[in-house]
Each structure stands twice: as structure tokens, then as C-alpha cells.
Amino acid sequence: MGEPPLADPRPGAGRGFPAASVARLPDALPCAETGGSALSPTSPTPRLMRPERFRRLREVLARRQPDLTVLMDRVDKAHNFSAILRSCDAVGALEAHAVAAEPGLEVHHATSAGTKKWVSVQRHADVEAAIAHLRGLGFRILAAHPSPSALDYRKADYTRPVAITLGAELEGVSTKALELADAQVMIPMMGMVHSLNVSVASALLLFEAQRQRAAAGMYDESRLDPEAFAKRLFEWAYPTLARSRLEQSLPYPALDDDGQIVSTQTSSRPSWKRSDSSTPS
């Protein structure tokens, strides 16, 4: 007696339906992160958006301060660079600016706690270009430097658009940056050492800015215009898809109130473009 035939694995086969008429299951399923396209078995696993996470992203973004930033002037240690970004995120700074001490300086993951996903970094070729860019956006440039003429950092007004310039630990803010700054601020020191670690100093200055801005009600409602808010929210929620759409010069899909993608098609092209003068990390 021969072996029995193998059962047809397709749903419905052997139940009165001809095998040829049973629909084959797809090898891929639609995925929100890929904009509704089929996801092959070898594609990266998508990050599905949970409504509670989307609400958290929206709440955090609503407190972002587009006119509070730092300029890192040749900060030359990755752990300091990363710790400064972590403080930026903590006080709601939207982005940071950097003039690298050397090519390829990267965020230190253990120190940043994933901050680079939430605080974009605009890199500049030199401090002159960085300050010209910031001043063109209306920022007042404050240099953290312990000079005799420097103002106690607690007496500076951080409710105005302000960029806090920080230097490397050994050399401090560069001479050119000091020349171009609108004012200098310092942290009073009562001990033998004359300065703090740059990441600690940045935290003190940024949290003084946060204190003043909170007292002025600057965190009470979103300070981003609606288009900029929607753009940044999509990039936070769907970073992989956002990168792909930008590379193809395609508009971002619309999202519903729970952060789910409504459609991969929108009525117009995005007005935002990548800047040629600076590169976000």
C-alpha cells in the first residue's frame, strides 16, 4: 500500500474547493512604515505606531522651543557632545548647531540616551558661518566664557531668541566666536578650579533658560507653525519612511489623530527641502 498524498496546505483545499481556485496567501503584508507597500520577508521589521506613543510625541513636540539653541564650537569629545544634546532635549530645544573639531565626530550613544533622534544637529564649516546663519535667523549669540566682563549667567535674558555658544574643555570658546558674540556669560566659581566640564556648564545655562521660559509661559502652547509641526511630527513618528520620501522628493503622507498613515498620497509637494549649507545628523 503506497504513502497517502500530502495534504494541500492552502486554506480551503480539500474542503470541496478545487485546489486551483484557492487564493494563495501573500508573502508580504502592508506596513505603515513603508507607506502601505508590501513588505518582503527580508525587509526590516517595521515600527508600528501605538496611539499612546504618538500622543507622547505630539505633547513633547508642542513644548519644543525653536528659538533656543546651542552652538558647540569645536567640542572635541563625543561624550560631551552627546551630554549637551541630552540637556537640549530635556529643556525642549528643537535643534543644536556644531562646528566640529575634527571630521566624523559622532554622538556617543551611551551618554545621549537616544537624544539624536529628537534633537537635530546642524553642522557648519566654521564658527563664522555658524554665527552668520544663526544671526540671520534672529538669534542673539551668548558665549559661555569666564571673562571679567562676562555677565552672571542667571542675569541674562533667555526669553529672547538665543544661541548659547560652548567651547571645548581645554581651549574654551574660540577667539573668533568671542569676537562675534553679542555678550558673554559666566558661572560664578567659589573653588580652586575656574570652570566646569562643558556638558555640566551647558546644563546649568540651559536649565536657567528653561526656568525663565516656563515662568513666561513659553511652554504652554506650541511655538512651531503648523506646517513645521506636522513635518517634524511625521519625522519623529516614521523616520525611515520620512527619509525615503525626502530622498525621492515626495510629500509626507497624512496622519490621523492616532498617528496612523491615512494615505501615501497628498495634494501637494512638501515645501521643506534639505539645506545645502548645513547637514542634520
Q: What mean pLDDT comes out for the span 225-233?
A: 96
Q: Burial of 219 by CB count in 10 Å (0-12 exposed, 13-18 middle, 19+ buried)?
A: middle
Beta-strand pair 254-255/279-280: unpaired
How many domains are there within the chain?
A: 1
Do 278 and 133 contact (CB within 8 A), yes or no? Answer: yes
Residue 180 has pLDDT above 90, yes or no: yes
Quick one: which of 151, 115, 127, 133 has its CA closest to 74? 127
The answer to whether residue 99 is domain-embedded is yes
Q: Give 22 or 239, the one with higher predicted confidence.
A: 239
Q: Give 213 or 31, the one with higher predicted confidence.
A: 213
The pLDDT-based confidence of 262 (bands split at 50, 70, 90) is confident
What pLDDT, in 10s, does the model give residues 94-118?
Answer: 999 999 876 555 544 444 445 678 9
Supply the pLDDT for residue 229: 97
The answer to whether residue 131 is domain-embedded is yes
The answer to whether residue 163 is domain-embedded is yes
What pLDDT, in 10s, does the model give residues 49-100?
Answer: 899 999 999 999 999 999 999 999 999 888 999 999 999 999 999 999 999 8
- Helix 226-237 and helix 51-62, axial crossing angle in degrees, nearest 10: 140
Supply the pLDDT for residue 116: 72
Supply the pLDDT for residue 169: 80
The answer to whether residue 261 is domain-embedded is no
What pLDDT, in 10s, does the model give residues 268-279?
Answer: 444 444 433 443
Distance CA 73, CA 101 (A): 8
The answer to whether residue 184 is domain-embedded is yes
The answer to whether residue 94 is domain-embedded is yes
First to last CA, the chain: 69
Whichever domain contains 123, its CATH number is: 3.40.1280.10
Q: Which residues pair with 93 in a beta bridge?
A: 65
Residue 12 has pLDDT above 80, yes or no: no
**Structural domain of 180:** 61-215
What pLDDT, in 10s, does the model give residues 136-169?
Answer: 999 999 999 999 999 999 999 999 999 999 998 8
The answer to whether residue 124 is domain-embedded is yes
Do 130 and 97 contact (CB within 8 A), yes or no? Answer: yes
